[in-house]
Amino acid sequence: MNNGRAVVLVIEDNTIVRMGAVDLVLAAGYEALEARDADEAIRILESRSDIDLVFTDVQMPGTMDGIKLAHYIRDRWPPVKLIVASGNDILEESSLPGGSSFFPKPYDDSAITDAMARLLASDNPKGTATG
């Protein structure tokens, strides 16, 4: 958390979709960071220790897709919460790391913000949403 606000990293190669997701994160009261692909996201994760949640697309250019990235993040940064979205793939949550949430695109904004609040609250000992 940064100044009491959760930090959410949005990973999306489509600029318009990424801007919308960043706006959604900000409107929910969280700090937003953004990356175009997994490689950029990993550089950001390596440079910051305050990222609480990653919200990633599945299909993107680069060395790995969002599913591989989610597993990589779970292995390397276990406390980071994960939300995965895709417009092309309907995934079984069993193909994602434990504790991840999947949403098909187009996703409902309130479903995403509810999932963020629920995931981030799971770290809060009082059980209240942060943000």
Element (H, E) at 81: strand 81-86
DSSP string, 7-76: EEEEE-SSHHHHHHHHHHHHHTT-EEEEESSHHHHHHHHHH-S---EEEEES--SSS--HHHHHHHHHHH
Kindly report whether the global pTM for this prediction surpasses the value 0.85.
yes
Alpha carbons 41 and 45: distance in angstroms, whole number: 6
Alpha carbons 18 and 48: distance in angstroms, whole number: 20
Q: What is the per-residue pLDDT across 28-86, written as a single tens digit (0 to 9) for each?
A: 999 999 999 999 999 999 999 999 999 999 999 989 999 999 999 999 999 999 999 98
Q: Which domains does the chain have, with CATH numbers?
A: 7-121 (3.40.50.2300)
